[in-house]
């Protein structure tokens, strides 16, 4: 009996990625947020040695002059993470999380923008519970929420209690990424602001004395309306809509 074949993606698995909940723990009404981006993200990280045997590249059409008589094909082994490879987003985010302490530096250094002194628990039922704050967050000696860094694949979101410190955090992250050999895409960097762009599919704005989380809300509402009114939708459309719910 012939053994059924499967694609490389069908033979691997991947864990989940960070969500906006991790980001919100460092956001208050005064918080500023910036954005760093890593260029050619997947190519910065190596593919597991055990997977390289299954990741060949056919270069016969790229280098036809190398096709000497008797050579049936020109193949090379791919050693970097793959685009379209199911675990690639998780693996790159995991490795960036391992690098994060080195990007931030020592938390007790008074000159470090990422310094913090302690962790505050703000749990329902506690006498000091404040609904407008996250259930857990880091603070400095003076009680302000500490600057922080959050990673979602190639999108890095540094935060800071004031605009200047948020810019310093973004500068530190970009400089250290370059030092470690990762490509800091400066052309994609966004300055410190309280109305930044999307991160992990979510837009967080904290201007006008409030924090607003908009996770594809408008698109999800439109999709739900179409599901109720259009009976001709296919299964593929339903699955596509589910990504916004």
Residues 132 and 228 in one domain: no
**239, part of any domain:** yes
Q: Is the per-residue pLDDT at 36 higher than 90?
A: yes
pLDDT of residue 244: 44
Residues 125 and 201 in one domain: yes
Q: What is the tally of structural domains in the chain?
A: 2
Q: Evaluate whether 152 touches 18 at the Cβ level (below 8 Å).
A: yes
pLDDT of residue 209: 43
**Buried-exposed string 1-33: b where 16+ CB fall within 10 A, e elsewhere:** eeeeeeeeeeeeeeeeebebeebbbbbbeebbb
Q: Is the per-residue pLDDT at 40 higher than 80?
A: yes
Residues 165 and 198 in one domain: yes
pLDDT of residue 83: 85
Structure tokens at 145: 């929420």
Structure tokens at 37: 């981006």
**Owning domain of residue 243:** 215-245
For 55-92, the pLDDT digits (tens) are 888 888 888 888 788 777 888 888 888 888 888 888 88
Residues 209 and 245 in one domain: no
Nearest to 169 by CA among 153, 183, 157: 157
What percent of the chain clears pLDDT 90, i.e. is strictly above it?
31
For 98-130, the pLDDT digits (tens) are 999 999 999 999 999 999 999 999 999 999 898
**208, part of any domain:** yes
87: which DSSP letter?
T
Does the pTM surpass 0.95? The reply is no
**233, part of any domain:** yes
Q: Where are the beta strands (DSSP E) in 117-225?
A: 118-121, 136-139, 148-152, 155-160, 190-193, 203-205, 212-214
CATH of the domain at 200: 3.30.70.270
Residues 118 and 224 in one domain: no
């Amino acid at each position: 009996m012939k053994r059924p074949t499967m694609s490389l993606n069908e033979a691997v698995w991947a864990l989940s990625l960070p969500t906006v909940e991790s980001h919100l723990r460092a956001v208050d009404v005064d918080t500023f947020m910036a954005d760093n981006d890593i260029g050619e993200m997947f190519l910065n990280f190596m593919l597991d040695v055990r997977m390289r045997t299954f990741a060949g590249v056919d270069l016969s059409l790229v280098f036809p002059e190398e096709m000497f008589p008797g050579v049936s094909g020109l193949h090379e082994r791919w050693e970097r993470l793959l685009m379209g490879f199911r675990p690639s987003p998780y693996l790159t985010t995991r490795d960036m999380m391992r690098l994060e302490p080195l990007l931030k530096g020592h938390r007790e250094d008074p000159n470090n923008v990422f310094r913090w002194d302690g962790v505050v628990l703000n749990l329902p039922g506690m006498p000091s519970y404040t609904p407008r704050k996250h259930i857990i967050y880091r603070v400095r000696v003076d009680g302000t929420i500490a600057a922080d860094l959050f990673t979602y694949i190639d999108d890095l979101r540094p935060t800071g209690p004031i605009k200047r410190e948020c810019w310093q955090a973004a500068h530190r992250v970009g400089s250290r990424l370059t030092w470690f050999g990762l490509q800091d895409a400066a052309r994609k960097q966004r300055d410190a602001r309280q109305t930044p762009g999307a991160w992990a599919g979510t837009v967080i704005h904290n201007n006008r004395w409030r924090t607003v989380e908009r996770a594809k809300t408008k698109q999800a509402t439109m999709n739900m309306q179409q599901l109720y009114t259009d009976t001709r939708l296919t299964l593929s459309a339903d699955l596509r809509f589910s990504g916004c719910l």
